[in-house]
Structure 1
């Protein structure tokens, strides 16, 4: 975000927050539930987050809401950065897309968006911020939406912007459960669905055709590896060379390295030391990456947005956690394994052991 964008956001907050903080916030704790099941015909979920992983971790809430209210009209307010992930989502009836950079630079565009938001009327608005992180934009947009019931997590800075605020637990659970707990205020018996994104069939076929054009065969065991992640999350390049050699030699896997612009130079340093039949893909769009992940047997990564996207695409994953909270963000289920990495240590042998555990349950689509 540029300095101009930060300034515009700050000014907007200073002007609007005192005006909109007009209703008292009722703070409730986990285990509370509304005494009567309310009728929700139209629901808005506010989640304009620029982090892919957080959006994917929210998808079980979408599934649970659609299962509980199959006839409800569900709208999702998100940023334009990852809106493509939800364009074909069968759980969402309408996307409200915030073009944040354009709106900050041109107030008329922002006013037009807010006018459209205010034109809608909802029975329930869910401010779907993480229990441990405050999003002023999310709270403000939830307050601007026309509804009598706004639900989210209780934060010091969002007092008066929500009607009902759930007190964050002292010990945070898994991120998917934190989103679902907002729904459990109304339906205490909700189960936990898996993370899921709906990929159009033509997008999946794009990945199939791509791998075929790169020389992959139906019988090939395909593994995608992502070195990226911010700061300490990034996998150490030298150790990835050793891991790649073992994957190729001991398991007969063919490797696909995916990277963004910030990882290209990092990956270039070790390309000559990787198995000769490795493939390198840089700058894939989110849908292209999802299509690729739906066509490989295993995805290896640090705790990044693409890791959670792989889980939502049905791909088996092996993840390396260093600075992130494993209990909060680790993928769950028999198709997923995790290891912890400490300073000066890369758990190569443990990773290889986990690969051996995953292969019997890994699913390969084999569409080529």
Structure 2
């Protein structure tokens, strides 16, 4: 059955190559080296993937201040970008896209822009059919991506994948391939004064360190909620104000009744971001919330079991990653590392990529 599915997929990709195909480019034509309209595509429904794309879009804006930039993202997280002024946000709803009329309407909107460049920000290690397909729909003169089976069907300027660097760095290097010079970026997310004020009111006037602990995660990345609760209880005993962030699956586990621990129910993405920004430390497995906190320049403690700590390294300057087998790592080790981070002097460089042996 799998071999049949694989054959059908390959036939489908062959059709798309014929339909979308254009002459493969070795470089950007001279007449298009100063693009007026640029499309960036990162439309899969993963928060972490979107966050990893933000330094790229910020650097692109700096390199081409006069260009019109449209960022095509999943409807699920578009609200996160509502205060960004350097580009226009368009949304893609994968469920609605099952209706051919929706695809035709999107194709019309994209083609009407007559984009000079399109960046297909698919991960070179985990290529996305959705991203590459949307890049193809744009009919941009130059469609730029890392080499993959999907990019070969829809894009026309391909580069060998980067290795041994974080995903957000790989995207910046893709920009450097077509526009020489280091891709510089500053703040990638902007919270309003009102959002920050509301977060400050939520936390109150306590002078104790505010630590966020995320109980969620996906698949093999996830750590048992009971382990995180043990971490939270230790931190609370040691004088921290601990805030348990959880999803629907962890709701029953979040009510501990332990003094110093406050459960935080799921919030809209902007409110959630503001709450993250008010923390002194955020601890989580490799997850969208971890990378969102790091993008907001919050110190993070990441616990990585199956994730590649190089490829999925958070972008912020203050990050500590623990890499260990689930059977070996215990709650006390994580809690002690959290306290070590909190007690560090500001001038001291935080530990990066630390592993428990």
SS in 1 for 2:279: coil
Q: CA deviation at 1:300?
A: 0.7
Matched, 1:43 2:43: no
Deviations 1:7-51 (A, max 9, x none): xxx8xx6796154242233478xxxx9899921221110111110
Once residues 303 and 315 of structure 1 are traced to their aligned partners in structure 2, the CA distance between those partners, rounded to angstroms, is 15
Q: TM-score, structure 2 length as denominator?
A: 0.85
Over 3 Å counting, the alpha-carbon distance change for 1:326 and 1:192 in structure 2 is farther
Q: Which residue of 1 aligns with 2:212?
A: 224
Alignment of 1:201-220 (within 5 A): 201-211=193-203, 216-220=204-208
Matched, 1:86 2:85: no
CA contact (8 A) 1:335 1:361 kept: no
Q: CA deviation at 1:135?
A: 1.5
CA contact (8 A) 2:41 2:135 kept: yes
CA contact (8 A) 2:296 2:316 kept: no
Choose from 290, 293, 296 the match for 2:276: 293
Once residues 24 and 36 of structure 1 are traced to their aligned partners in structure 2, the CA distance between those partners, rounded to angstroms, is 16
Q: CA RMSD in A?
A: 2.7
Q: Which residue of 2 aligns with 1:339?
A: 322
Q: Which residue of 1 aligns with 2:137?
A: 144
Q: CA deviation at 1:116?
A: 1.2
Once residues 21 and 100 of structure 2 are traced to their aligned partners in structure 1, the CA distance between those partners, rounded to angstroms, is 24
Choose from 287, 291, 294 the match for 1:311: 294
Deviations 1:129-183 (A, max 9, x none): 11112222221221221421110011123324212101114x3421111111211
Q: Which residue of 2 aligns with 1:356?
A: 340
Matched, 1:184 2:176: yes
Once residues 318 and 269 of structure 2 are traced to their aligned partners in structure 1, the CA distance between those partners, rounded to angstroms, is 22
Q: Which residue of 2 aligns with 1:327?
A: 310
Q: Which residue of 2 aligns with 1:199?
A: 191
Once residues 17 and 183 of structure 2 are traced to their aligned partners in structure 1, the CA distance between those partners, rounded to angstroms, is 38
Q: Which moved more, 1:193-202 or 1:116-125?
A: 193-202
Matched, 1:102 2:86: no
Q: Which residue of 1 aligns with 2:19?
A: 20
Once residues 191 and 97 of structure 1 are traced to their aligned partners in structure 2, the CA distance between those partners, rounded to angstroms, is 25
Q: Which residue of 2 aligns with 1:260?
A: 247
Once residues 249 and 121 of structure 2 are traced to their aligned partners in structure 1, the CA distance between those partners, rounded to angstroms, is 29
- Which structure has more RCO (C-alpha within 8 Å, separation ≥ 6)? 1
Structure 1: runs of 5+ lacking an equivalent: 1-9, 364-368
Q: TM-score, structure 1 length as denominator?
A: 0.83
Once residues 227 and 210 of structure 1 are traced to their aligned partners in structure 2, the CA distance between those partners, rounded to angstroms, is 20
